[in-house]
Amino acid sequence: MRMKFSRSSQRSQNQRGLIAKSQEPSRRDQQGAATSKTAKNGVIHSGFALLLIAAASLVAASLITACETLTVDFVFVASSKAAGTNNYGEIDVFEINSESGRMRQIPTSPFPSEGRDPVAEAVSADYQNLFVVNQDDNTIVQFIVGNDGKLYPFNTVNTPGIFPLAITANKSNVFVVDTYQPLPLCSTADPCPGSIAVYPLAAGGSSSSAPCAASVCLGTPATNPANASQFWPLTLISAPSDVIVPTAVNVLASGAYVYVTAYDSSVTPNRGYVFGFAVGSGGALTPLNGGVPHDMGVGSKGFGIRPSAIASDPTSTYVYVTDSTNGIVVSYSVASGILTEIKDTPTGNQPSAVVVDPTYAYAYVTNETDATVTAYSISSGGGLTSVGTFATGLQPVALGIDPSTNHFLFTVNFLDNTVSGFELSTTTGTLLDAQFSPFATNAQPVAAAAIPHNGTGGGIQSQ
């Protein structure tokens, strides 16, 4: 503004000089005319310069604005503490800046979770739907995700069991794990083993023949022919009355197998297992190994195992399970669904979540009581080697990697109500704090899921 005002004043002075010169004696007419011409040219050049400066300023401002609004992903963080008139949990929606990694809530965030105590999330393979598990209501709420990251509740279904705790999804199915089977006597006062259920997904759309208006539609839960019900129990054939407590679920990228981590709470110390199922037509499950789960206590570890999280690599070749009791992450190879242990790798104290980068050969584990995340490189044989540990907020309980570039990582920190953002090195796997990290959430955040901003994972899009 100062520069424009200065140039405007100079222009007025030049114009007044021209008027004075036009009233001088005739013997100076020629000189006055020449002076007038020079002055006019100065005004014209000055105005042209102003236009150039203004244009350059607009271009620069537009470039800065575009850079500042570049959004690579939307991240949905579920906060379990009840809020609002309906005692619903909250879903905070963050956008990740592609240049700084800064996470900023969109203007209309947060959104009600449409249920009490949201504890887990998953997104559909087309990135157009978010599935939120509300534990106290035994529900899965399907949200349609807008192009701007806004959430629109579309459908609510009850889970077959009691107190759902984990969910995962692929192109064909949504898998949900319940704390207890849907038996008359199952409750927190009288616990029983957990269970897994499968919701087949059908293509939706706007046509009259589509089963629903969303891009995908939750079907009726698949039927287990062994018990004529809509769930598969997580029980030990050798000890059917033991209370098996599920902790996490993962479906391979191939969709061929799904795994549930759990531990036997009826023995002291606890013993950990991985239940494996082959996924058939319509989501029907077939227990692997005759229904005998993989025993994590076989070998040197023995008893005292409590698996807390599970993840798999994009090739469906390796599976990784964290053990919160022993502070390790166990690497497995997969052959026809059967797990074979590769090695144990130390973590921090009470590892709580694990994720594998879909593009780069790295894995990450949050350490709950240490308030850290440990980065690992993945060898050609699937084993893990630590490459560094990095500070997070207090009690990290979940983490994720942006699905658009696989370049940004975030942890959900339960105790200080924040999300920590990082930029990961694609050459070393190490982490660098994102600008202004950590970022505030609602009370008691517990889960997160993410989608690319343009909905396809094709890269950065400008808002």
Among 17-26, 186-195, 215-224, 286-295, the range scoring the smallest mean pLDDT is 17-26
Name the band, by pLDDT with cuts 50, 70 and 90, for residue 18. Answer: very low
For the chain, what percent of residues have pLDDT higher than 70? 81
Tell me: pLDDT of 5 over 80: no
More confident residue, 43 or 7: 43
Read off the pLDDT of each residue in 149-167 and give the average, rounded to a whole number: 97
Q: Are 28 and 34 in contact (CB under 8 A)?
A: no
Torsion angle defined by CA atoms of residues 329, 330, 331 and 332, in that order, rounded to the nearest 10 degrees:
-150
Question: What pLDDT, on a 0 to 100 scale, did the predictor assign at position 57?
Answer: 44
Q: ∠ CA 111-113-118 to the nearest 5 degrees? A: 135
Dihedral (CA of 283, 354, 447, 260) sign: positive
Q: Which pLDDT tens digit goes with each residue over 398-415? A: 999 999 999 999 999 999
More confident residue, 41 or 9: 41
Q: Where are the domains of the chain?
A: 2-65, 72-462
Question: What pLDDT, on a 0 to 100 scale, did the predictor assign at position 23?
Answer: 43
Q: Are 86 and 115 in contact (CB under 8 A)?
A: no
φ/ψ of 309, rounded to 5, equals -160, 160
Is this prediction's pTM over 0.85? no
Cα 384 to Cα 314: distance, rounded to the nearest angstrom = 15
- Looking up tokens 């200080």 gives 416
For residue 301, what are its two tokens?
């570890």
Question: What pLDDT, on a 0 to 100 scale, did the predictor assign at position 186?
Answer: 86
Distance of CA 372 to the CA centre of its chain: 18
Tell me: pLDDT of 204 over 50: yes
Tell me: pLDDT of 150 over 90: yes
Tell me: pLDDT of 354 over 90: yes
Q: Which pLDDT tens digit goes with each residue over 414-448? A: 999 999 999 999 999 999 999 999 999 999 999 99
Question: What pLDDT, on a 0 to 100 scale, did the predictor assign at position 300?
Answer: 52
Q: How far from 221 is each of 157, 171, 200, 303, 445, CA to CA, in Å?
A: 10, 16, 7, 35, 29
Residues near 224 by Cβ (< 8 Å), separated by ≥ 6? 230, 231, 232, 284, 285
Tell me: pLDDT of 46 over 90: no
Tell me: pLDDT of 14 over 90: no
Q: Which numeric CATH code is attached to 72-462? A: 2.130.10.10
Q: Which pLDDT tens digit goes with each residue over 217-259? A: 999 999 999 999 999 999 999 999 999 999 999 999 999 999 9
For the chain, what percent of residues have pLDDT higher than 90? 75
Q: Which pLDDT tens digit goes with each residue over 90-120? A: 999 999 999 999 999 999 999 999 999 999 9
Tell me: pLDDT of 11 over 90: no
More confident residue, 88 or 365: 365
Range of 26-40, 299-313, 336-350 with top mean pLDDT: 336-350
Cα 364 to Cα 76: distance, rounded to the nearest angstrom = 19
Tell me: pLDDT of 60 over 80: no
